[in-house]
Amino acid sequence: MTADLTHTDEVGAAPRRGNRIRQRPPFGLTTRVWTYVKVFVGAAISCLAVYAVAQHAVEWQPAAWGVADRLALVAKVAALALFPALAVIAVVAAQRLNPEHFSGGEVRRDSPLDINVRFLHNTFEQFLVYFVGNAALALYVLPVDAEALPVLGAMFFSGRVLYWLGYHHNSYLRSFGFGFTFYPTVAVFAWLALYVTTGLYIDI
């Protein structure tokens, strides 16, 4: 009985598990990571869709558009945007009275109190960037596009609510809320960078 030494370039079949061929996810990322990528893409598309609908639904233009009027509008919208954080601050104050949320004098990891505190940290980080971007946007935007400011504020509000609910119940919803909060701010800074560097004004 002689050994078959004939060379072949054929590649053997990929290992199987049951009847399914095991496939490596694209770019070496895990299936879980790709799921989150899809969530973030969905958040970006949702932001565009919501903004487009709101832009056509909201027909408002300020009667006066001086510097004081612009900053006053930014302040009013910012107050609306921070309502979720205000509500959670009140919840945290009550939770700090509950000893079940503490272990050895420290807040128990992943307890409702710990989650709410982390939510507040992230919210104030995001709000700082959001506020600076919207304040700068208000200084440059034309009165006909002034409705963008309250729309962006409402989207920040909604994104924070989704982020908070997701933090307590579903990590995918949390990621969606994060993107829904963050991507409009990124768009604002992109608009500002384009206008400041080139003078090109794009209707928003």
State which fold the 27-198 domain adopts.
Four Helix Bundle (Hemerythrin (Met), subunit A) (1.20.120)
3-state SS assignment for residue 124: helix
Task: Please state the rounded mean pLDDT for residues 44-48.
Answer: 97
Q: Is the pLDDT of residue 170 over 50?
A: yes
Task: Encode pLDDT of 73-125 as tens digits.
Answer: 999 999 999 999 999 999 999 999 999 999 888 999 999 999 999 999 999 99
What is this structure's pTM? 0.84
Range 54-64 burial, b when 16+ CB lie within 10 A, else e: beeeeeeeeee
pLDDT at position 56, please? Answer: 85
Q: Is the pLDDT of residue 162 over 50?
A: yes
pLDDT at position 9, please? Answer: 45
Specify which residues 136 forms β-bridges with: none
Residue ranges per structural domain of the chain: 27-198
pLDDT-based confidence at residue 25 (cuts at 50, 70, 90): low
